[in-house]
Chain A
Amino acid sequence: MSTTIAPAAPRDSIWAHARYMLAGNPVTLFALCLFLAYALMALLGPMIAPFDPMASDTARALQAPTWRHWFGTDQLGRDILSRVIVATRVDLGIALASVVLVFAAGGLAGLAAGFFGGWVDAVVGRIADTIMAFPLFVLAMGIVAALGNTIPNIVLATAIINFPLYARVARAETLTRRQAGFVDAARLSGHRDGALLLGQVLPNIMPIMVVQMSLTMGYAILNAAGLSFIGLGVRPPTAEWGIMVAEGASFIVSGEWWIALFPGATLMLAVFCFNLLGDGLRDIVDPRRRT
């Protein structure tokens, strides 16, 4: 990477820009703080949970929030706060894995399509079109139902339904850069296609792709939760936000609102955070595209 010819902004100017943007955009700053909190929860999970998230205590089942159990207890008397905390790693893990996977697959496919054009472009385009024509949630359901409801399959299904989005964004970004001066320069200086693609074009479309990843993280979390609600989520007794909401849903009418509310709110806040963060990142990375 010593011969970067790309006209990327120098590093400290990006930071300066980011600081500037954050100062002027309290919402993004808030989202960033929230994100850090979630990241901590995911990392420390079991260490900061006040109770064993799996230990049942039927004598204390269905207790409303108290000082002992801040978020109350569920049907089996498990501490909801502990389960919510421990679930962070599972949910963010699923979302992150699927986003990384689709970034690798969709991003590379889009890159290749935009760079080489021709039949590569046609094939990638067709695949993306076909996936887009599916009702996406039902496609995800079908994949998980067919392959079995395990975490890797949920990750795979979420990645597949996001494929067209990544392929298209990567393709469009590559197209606008293919003929850019720095690519021509690199080509003239004897770089081969592959090196050109990975060494020059990829780093340049990276920022936009990162924004995309942040935006789809939220969607991936929602998708996994929806699958859980239908009964195609991770296996019990694993703590996962979507399953906890689904379990708690049947208790809302009987007045035990805390079972669904706290995991639901945590889930919502996480999605919210990623969406705002994605927006904010976009502002920083590409001010022109600010929407």
Chain B
Amino acid sequence: MRQVLLRLAAALPTLCGVVVVTFLLTRVLPGDTATYFAGPTASAEAIEQIRRELGLDLPLPEQFWRYVVALTKGDLGMSLTTGQPVRAEIATRLPASAELTLCALVLAIAIAMPLGVLAAVRQGSLIDHACRVLTTAGVSLPVFFTGLLLVYVFYFVLGWMPAPLGRLDAFATAPPQVSGFYLIDTLLAGDTGTFRAAAAQIVLPATTLALFALAPIARITRASMLAVLGSEFIRTARASGLSGPTVVITYALRNALLPVVTVLGMVFSFLLGANVLVEKVFAWPGIGSYAVEALIASDFAPVQGFVLTMAVLYVLLNLGIDLLNRAIDPRARHGA
């Protein structure tokens, strides 16, 4: 417990840095917020009045102080474009992003880990090269391009996938909120029909995102497997007559998992930030698309809220991975 608190305390400067940088960055965004929201026909007085209402006439340090005070109360401000409190909007949109990202991650693991293991076992073979080419190709695709292509082929031409309308078909109803993950909530509600609708909607965006995550997972699995396969105890196991698959699955893979878990954490936090473009293509109501729209409109509060949320998630995720590593590997406890 003390360890956890210490780690959290160590992350505080990082979070402070994020808060300050985001604040400054959003203030130098061009475009005059007051002018924008006063509407096209506003008089100079009307613009001034809005500037005052938004507190934009105050000196920067005071604006910052107000922002920090509000933050400590958990108030992330109001979005001017959607007219809603940022905290509430992030709370409703975060599960959408997290669900998409997790699905993509699971999909990527399901494909990339076997590939990585295979590549390691048959090092230097055709499979090894093919695996490398395939995963590298995945990471080389601009996600917005892949997304559009998948929509075109699987929805428009073939009609195998439902219309990219976001999380649910227009005529389906969202399940009662428990976890915020539709795939879980629909099952909890015992509503398999909506579950299937939600699952169908998530396939294409998750695939798009997963393609991007194949390479790092496959690479680290392969590297870590290679290291383990070359180690003493595997040789011993093989020497004592254990069959190939047993050695690979039971002994090698289990021992190779540690670095993989670490990378998975990094990949997850990267994907959560990188799915901005995927959300835009698939009309996915996540926080990424929310932040992008806000940024384009010079709407400070959602951008600040988004960045802060992501930073906190990043810190927590790293902490989680650390703890997990400690749990898996006794040696790590003696590390730092």
Interface residues, chain A, with chain B CB atoms under 8 Å away: 24-27, 126-127, 129-130, 132-139, 141-143, 145-148, 218, 222, 225-226, 229-231, 242, 245-246, 249, 252-253, 257, 260, 264, 267-269, 271-272, 275-276, 279, 290-291
Contacts and interface: CB of A to CB of B under 8 A. Distances in A.
Contact of B145 (A126, A142, A231, A249): A249
B213 to A, nearest CB: 14
Contacts of A139: 307
Secondary structure class of chain B's binding surface, majority of residues: helix
A276 B136 contact: yes
B51 to A, nearest CB: 19
B307 A249 contact: no
A231 B311 contact: no
Interface stretch (B21-29, B77-85, B166-174): B21-29
Contacts of A25: 129
Given A143-B25, A145-B295, A272-B136, A225 B142 contact: yes
B273 A142 contact: no
Nearest to A144: B295
A134 B308 CA distance: 8
A253 B150 CA distance: 11
Interface residues of B, number: 55
Given A135-B291, A142-B295, A275-B136, 12 more contacts: A26-B129, A126-B17, A134-B307, A135-B274, A136-B273, A137-B276, A138-B292, A142-B26, A146-B30, A245-B144, A272-B136, A275-B215
A255 B29 CA distance: 38
Given A225-B142, A230-B292, A130 B18 contact: yes
Given A141-B292, A229-B142, A279 B136 contact: yes
B199 interface: no
A229 B277 contact: yes
Contact of B306 (A132, A138, A143, A147): A138
A226 B144 contact: yes
B87 interface: no
Interface in B119-156: 124, 129, 132-133, 136-137, 139-145, 148-149, 152, 156
A229 to B, nearest CB: 5
A142 B307 CA distance: 11
Contacts of A229: 142, 144, 277
Nearest to A245: B145
Contacts, number: 147
B13 A126 contact: yes
A276 B136 CA distance: 7
Interface stretch (B182-190, B219-227, B236-244, B319-327): B219-227
Contact of B148 (A146, A260, A269): A260
B313 to A, nearest CB: 9
B271 to A, nearest CB: 10
- Pairs A-B, 8 closest by C-beta atoms: A135-B273, A130-B17, A291-B223, A271-B140, A272-B140, A133-B311, A135-B310, A146-B28
Contacts of A222: 140, 142
B160 to A, nearest CB: 16
B29 A132 contact: no
7 contacts: A27-B132, A134-B307, A138-B276, A139-B307, A141-B292, A249-B145, A271-B139
Contacts of A26: 129
Contacts of B100: none
Nearest to B124: A24
Interface in B232-253: none
Contacts of B30: 145-146, 148
Contacts of A27: 129, 132-133
A229 B14 CA distance: 30
Contacts of A272: 136-137, 140
Contacts of A146: 25-26, 28-30
B44 interface: no
A169 B13 CA distance: 22
B204 to A, nearest CB: 14
A110 to B, nearest CB: 18
A288 to B, nearest CB: 10
B269 to A, nearest CB: 8
Given A141-B292, A229-B277, A245 B142 contact: yes
A226 B277 contact: yes
Residue in B13, B29, B142 whose Cβ sees the most chain A Cβ within 10 Å:
B142
Residue in A134, A231, A260 whose Cβ sees the most chain B Cβ within 10 Å:
A134
B48 to A, nearest CB: 24
Given A27-B129, A137-B276, A268 B291 contact: no
A253 B152 contact: yes
Contacts of A253: 152, 156
Nearest to B155: A253
B314 interface: yes
B142 A226 contact: yes
A132 B129 CA distance: 31
A44 B181 CA distance: 52
Nearest to A274: B140
A231 B276 CA distance: 14
